[in-house]
Structure 1
């Protein structure tokens, strides 16, 4: 009776969700596949940043003690540096959605350890292989263990939406009577591994590298059954971006030859002890929801400032990496790296006291907010002016604001003002009669703002409010 009931449930699941052994079937007729956005390397370099899709996992991209980490992340950061652009990340677990973003021009690379397949080549070009990986079944040792592929008959396997695992599982079918239920969900690979451990699902399928990393610190996991043999994995780019594809391939060849790939692979895949601590720490976006040991006082301080606490945390990380005893070469100290004169001005008696130094910085930020409030009424834009002022001084930012008006641009938009702030290294601009603060390395302040906002975006996506 129990077996009949189980079979009934399985058939019901198949009828409800189906086993569709094609990739991106729902999007097949979309015009973006025939006419992807025309955006290649020269345009990416001109705008100054490259956008890549990654997933939040211990081998791809995550936050640990406020710092951005991950195998794919470090590779992408190195690539962006070699291209002379900044790196913007888009965190997704849905591979189908990643391909849509790619072809709409909202992303430039899909860096999700993609197995190369003829079906996927219809929707994007692959880079040179970054490595090889096989696929394994993830299950509990205490559950209904699957020891051979034949035993997968009539079982239900949960996988991420759009993953190559679907076609791999479909290819296991030996005859018309061999059926496997595939449940596609909008969750990442590591989330599904956690669900297996929590007994919310019985099986999932992931890359062997990722499975082994998780199995090293979860003895309950069994990852011994291979679903597919080793095959090349790569990144995906738009099919009409040949210059970007060539640049990536050239970079891959050089970094492999230098040993960079091997060193990075060892860091994330072979050092299981470090992987365990990073993934299970309360200060990891994978194992907890804390950014630092000072989250509570940062939240209190941010509330008094009217900011998202994760934005203030991004500023603190940029300034001191959450080290209250940090001291710069210029003598700035504390969590928000204030100079002695500023500490005194904003009421800080003990610069080594985390709360005092933090509130001193917040009082300075409040002062800057008041300075810019009437000139920049839109709060999201004003924050950029405040951050730049915190870094380089509001006098230099005010000079750029005046130059923006003089040259007929909009002084309420940071994009326009930052252009003139960067020009403050040019005598034609810093000697202008309306400029009061003189020469400045404005590009450093512009990059400073970008760094904080990029980090904030990661905190906002990966850490709960």
Structure 2
């Protein structure tokens, strides 16, 4: 009788185990159950696509020379590669709308670098932290700060103590946790901080501080520091919070997806690639080339060791070799091995996919680099509309497209035409519209197909190359 009982128990265990296995599905090598908690990960694996929302800007996701980059984008790409699925990114800078999309099952994941709070945790399932940050006050440095003799003189004009925020007006992005933090600070200092909920996103508000349109805003420290490299007249050193966790969010209860991400993040965070990716977006200084007195040293007639290559290659596209030289200096300062923070390489700062298009890689010689760059210029020129017939203006359109991508330049042309400007003239027409494409009002316009671009960089890229070219013509005896 005892033996029969033991056999019966063993059979029950075996049957139970078989039933458990039958409720699991092997999809792309991942075992997921039929439980509701695994619904999202099962859906992702079956459709072979992860749909995520993130914000469009200078950090998380943007298009650089026709190639998508960004901190959130690159992490998401690594995760989807791990899963063996494609990534579909939906751009949404409005946090409230992103949350709505998540709740309506329009997306699988909200990858907007959300701060984890107890209140938010009631509504979402958060992953383990991707990073930590602090909330900081963004304020404008005093006018003429660069002429002040001491750091203390600059400091005397800046707020460093939260007590000094009494009666201040602080603009914060709608849907963020910044307003709640300021309200808590207001209670702690027993004084009023006027919090103005603003529909603009964080980077737009930082720009507004730089321009003197508003006095203060609040941002996550990592975003504030990156923008501080663009806007040298802002200060981001005043912290308003303790370190806080930044994570992705899934719909409440979707532990299957969250567990899968957590396991991957735990491994990814230990890799060299993770550290390099963080340094790439948050620690590298993105330099801007400007014209300065060093150009006088070239007045002897030689600009670089590559002058002959430049002269010969420029004939292919019908450019003055000095114009091509000015462009190469803008891109690399004639350094053939230089690599940018986004991976653009060499004298012409070509992205890897462009080098590959012309059968080259990072081992290409300076001569090969220049030839590939010229071929790419010719390719771009062939895509520029024939309506831009003036050769001088056409060169400016080619330069702009080389810098930010043809799609953004065509967007700027459509904006110009809509605004009654001449879409075939760069200066004082399309150039002003490329500047507008960093503003939400314009990059969300129906005639704009390619979204946000940091237009000031492209504007300066074209202007500085032409200005330097004119200097070269005066100084170089050719």
| Smaller-chain TM-score bracket | 0.5 to 0.7
* CA displacement at 1:84 relative to structure 2: 1.3
* CA displacement at 1:321 relative to structure 2: 8.3
Task: For structure 2, list consecutive stretches of 5 or more residues without a partner in the other structure.
Answer: 1-35, 144-156, 290-350, 361-374, 386-446, 455-478
2:142 counterpart residue number = 142
Which of these residues, 182, 190, 196, is aligned with residue 183 of structure 1?
196
Change (3 A) 1:163 1:327: same
2:56 counterpart residue number = 56
- CA–CA distance in structure 2, aligned partners of residues 211 and 174 of structure 1: 25
Pairing of 1:324-339 with structure 2 (within 5 A): 326-327=357-358
* CA displacement at 1:351 relative to structure 2: 11
2:275 counterpart residue number = 262
Pairing of 1:58-207 with structure 2 (within 5 A): 58-142=58-142, 145-174=158-187, 177-207=190-220
* CA displacement at 1:463 relative to structure 2: 5.5
* CA displacement at 1:205 relative to structure 2: 0.5
Residues 93 and 160 of structure 1 are in contact (CA less than 8 Å); yes or no, is this contact kept in structure 2?
Answer: no
1:377-398: CA deviation from partner (whole Å, max 9, x where unpaired): xxxxxxxxxxxxxxxxxxxxxx
- CA–CA distance in structure 1, aligned partners of residues 105 and 194 of structure 2: 34
Residues 156 and 183 of structure 1 are in contact (CA less than 8 Å); yes or no, is this contact kept in structure 2?
Answer: yes
* CA displacement at 1:238 relative to structure 2: 0.8
1:460 counterpart residue number = 450
RMSD, matched Cα: 3.3
Change (3 A) 1:141 1:460: same
Residues 108 and 237 of structure 1 are in contact (CA less than 8 Å); yes or no, is this contact kept in structure 2?
Answer: yes
Relative to the length of structure 1, the TM-score reads: 0.53
- CA–CA distance in structure 1, aligned partners of residues 384 and 284 of structure 2: 39
Matched residue SS, 1:461: coil
Change (3 A) 1:149 1:175: closer
* CA displacement at 1:240 relative to structure 2: 2.5
Relative to the length of structure 2, the TM-score reads: 0.51
Matched positions, count: 271
Residues 95 and 163 of structure 1 are in contact (CA less than 8 Å); yes or no, is this contact kept in structure 2?
Answer: yes
Residues 132 and 244 of structure 2 are in contact (CA less than 8 Å); yes or no, is this contact kept in structure 1?
Answer: yes
Matched residue SS, 2:243: strand
Question: Which protein has the larger Cα radius of gyration, Structure 1 or Structure 2?
Answer: 2
2:240 counterpart residue number = 227
Matched residue SS, 1:87: strand
Residues 324 and 352 of structure 1 are in contact (CA less than 8 Å); yes or no, is this contact kept in structure 2?
Answer: no
- CA–CA distance in structure 1, aligned partners of residues 186 and 197 of structure 2: 18
- CA–CA distance in structure 2, aligned partners of residues 226 and 353 of structure 1: 50
Change (3 A) 1:355 1:247: closer
- CA–CA distance in structure 1, aligned partners of residues 449 and 55 of structure 2: 14
- CA–CA distance in structure 2, aligned partners of residues 355 and 166 of structure 1: 46
* CA displacement at 1:260 relative to structure 2: 2.6
| 1:244 equivalent in alignment to 2:257 | yes
1:39-92: CA deviation from partner (whole Å, max 9, x where unpaired): 510111112211212112222111111111111110011111111111111222
Change (3 A) 1:126 1:323: closer
* CA displacement at 1:262 relative to structure 2: 1.2
Change (3 A) 1:103 1:256: same
Matched residue SS, 1:260: helix
* CA displacement at 1:357 relative to structure 2: 5.2
Residues 324 and 353 of structure 1 are in contact (CA less than 8 Å); yes or no, is this contact kept in structure 2?
Answer: no
1:213-246: CA deviation from partner (whole Å, max 9, x where unpaired): 1223432111111011112211111113211111
Change (3 A) 1:241 1:357: same
1:384-433: CA deviation from partner (whole Å, max 9, x where unpaired): xxxxxxxxxxxxxxxxxxxxxxxxxxxxxxxxxxxxxxxxxxxxxxxxxx
Matched residue SS, 1:89: strand
* CA displacement at 1:247 relative to structure 2: 0.8
